[in-house]
Structure 1
Amino acid sequence: MSKALSPISVVMIVRDAAATLAVTLDSVRGFDEVLLYDNGSRDGTLEIAARYPNVKIRKGEFLGFGPTRNAAAALAANDWIFSLDADEVVEPGLAAAIAGLALDRPEQAYAVERQNFLLGKRVRHGGWGRQRLTRLYHRRTHRFSEVAVHEKVELQAAERAVLLTGALRHTAMRDAGDFLVKMHRYTMLKAGESTRTYPPAIILFKAVWAFIRAYFLRLGMLDGWRGLLISVSEANGVFYKYMVIYSKREQS
């Protein structure tokens, strides 16, 4: 890859990512630094990372996705940060687009298209369809929102990130069990940062509406059983998020 990549640090927060990490790190060999911020892996993640000469390992506590991404970025050698997950692969076209950037405007952020694959097949519709995520930014002008889940690089009201060509390939889950574990984790994180509560009847309505929106309005049904699985999980996430908050209020 071009040396134009040298001022960029790839920053990853990981925990028990051994199943996918090697493929991810193979895709970013051309970057001079990959900062891997480990949150307590026990499955061989660190041993895999140690094989790559451009990977630097740091350790820290998981504080929620937004705060942890910012803490990791602060440890990088470079100001330009490319935020990457351990189950994402930088496709060659995207790597070439990044290599061609001048990176002479710290105020400019860059977005990428993420292509989501669930249990072996790409998801093309619903909330998992065409995702555009801001992932390349200068840390002196941008940072992630300080939220536990669904964090985003914060942009000014009139600011737009430039969309790069190429894509990230995201292998969302390896099997149905992995899918359910991750959905439960995200639901509990969302419940932990929210304080708004509703009566059970309203919670049920919100869950049903979440399914209708994902499966019908966003055309999740066109993704077959994968679309159904995603739509049901989104409805369950809404239901359990607000029920957790409601039950805590009732018990206090």
Structure 2
Amino acid sequence: MVPVSVVIITKNEAEMIGRSITMLRQLTDDIIVVDNDSTDHTVDISMENGCRVYQKSWDGYGANKNKGIALARYNWILSLDADEIPDAALLTSINQLKLDDCNTVYDIPFKAYYGNKPINFGNWGRDHHIRLFNRTQVKWSEPPVHETLVMPQNMRVQKLNGHLHHYSVKNVQEHEAKIVHYARLSALKYLQSGKKASLVKLYLAPLFHFVKAYVFLLGFLDGKEGWNIARMAFKNTWLKYYYLHKAKQNPILKKNFYEAPVMAYEFKANAHSE
């Protein structure tokens, strides 16, 4: 086995976590699960499969990933979400690495699924991310959402063979609920950075994201799933700037937004259905 630690953040992932761990056991003897108060069997499944499980307070996606990285046995980190499963080709690719240069990071292709349907076009069909890195050089940023890797500019990026299979959403209802949740967190991130909700951002940006995903990136070839992905890209863009606009207009909402970003607005997942 290569000297790699796997770090997974979880929240009620009992349905998927076992499949991921089974594959990851072929790579490493060190799997760290940072759990956010799961109420299903996520923790039990993880512990039964030999993972080291830590139930930490939730300080954000990047912050909890960094907590797991600090607990790892090895400096080389494979950072995953619980709905991401490596395939055999990816594990072989990682097992063949020398991992002797801490200034190299490894970019992994993703294969996304809508329910059980693979998505081949649109934004989801061309997804890839750096997920394997050395913690002495790299860490996660810690905004409310859309964390990114912070690393020196001279890092060398090497692409790996194989895929992380990302089971993004089960159905339209789950997709819409996620869109609302992430839109709120994005609005908080923008509020903290002083970003403004201009008319262009409110009305033209959502349309641009829809057309890009559905037309330019051929999302229509994925059928109804491609339509839903493009539609939700429109909705997410509009919602995050709408929430930001409302928070900036109302000092009380702005205060609540900082104190409880997920609950700052009483919108249901279907409140803005089209």
**Residue-by-residue CA offset, 1:130-158 (whole Å, 9 max, x unaligned):** 22210110100111222332223234435
The SS at the match of 1:126 is coil
| Corresponding pairs, count | 247
Q: One-letter code of the match for 2:32?
A: L
Segments of 4+ in structure 1 off by > 4 A? 199-202
1:117 is aligned to 113
- Structure 2 matches for 1:1-252, cutoff 5 A? 3=1, 5=2, 7-30=3-26, 31-53=28-50, 55-195=51-191, 196-199=195-198, 202-252=201-251
Structure 2 vs 1, CA of residues 207 and 145 (structure 1 numbering), >3 Å: closer, same or farther? Answer: same
Determine if contact 2:201/2:241 at 8 Å carries over to the other structure. Answer: no
Could you tell me the percent identity over the aligned residues?
A: 28
Unpaired runs of 5+ in structure 1?
Answer: none
Match of 1:101, SS? coil
* Aligned mates of 1:234, 1:98 — CA distance in 2: 33
Contact 2:103 2:154 in 1 (8 A): no
TM-score after normalising by structure 1: 0.93
Contact 1:114 1:130 in 2 (8 A): yes
- Residue 202 of structure 1, CA deviation: 4.7
- Cα distance per residue 1:177-220 (max 9 Å; x no partner): 22222222211111111122224575022211221121112221
SS at match of 1:81: strand
**Does the residue aligned with 1:62 lie in a helix, a strand or coil?**
coil
Give the 3-state SS of the residue equivalent to 2:240 in structure 1: helix
After TM superposition, the score normalised by the length of structure 2 is: 0.86
User: One-letter code of the match for 2:38?
Assistant: S
- 2:265 corresponds in structure 1 to none
> What amino acid is aligned across from residue 207 of structure 2 in structure 1?
V
Are the counterparts in 1 of residues 103 and 155 from structure 2 also a CA contact under 8 Å? no
Once residues 241 and 146 of structure 2 are traced to their aligned partners in structure 1, the CA distance between those partners, rounded to angstroms, is: 17
Shift, 1:115, TM fit: 0.5
Contact 1:215/1:228 (<8 A) preserved: yes
| Structure with a larger share of its residues in helix | 2
CA distance in 2, matches of 1:21, 1:106: 29
- 2:103 and 2:156 in contact (8 A); partners too: no
Pairwise CA distance, 1:18: 0.9
Q: Does the CA contact (< 8 Å) of 2:210 and 2:233 recur in 1?
A: yes
- Long gaps (5+) in structure 2: 252-274
Q: What do you get for the CA RMSD once the two structures are aligned?
A: 1.5
Shift of 1:234: 0.8
Give the structure 1 partner of residue 259 of structure 2.
none
Deviations 1:107-148 (A, max 9, x none): 111111110011211111111112221011010011122233
Letter in 2 for 1:163: K
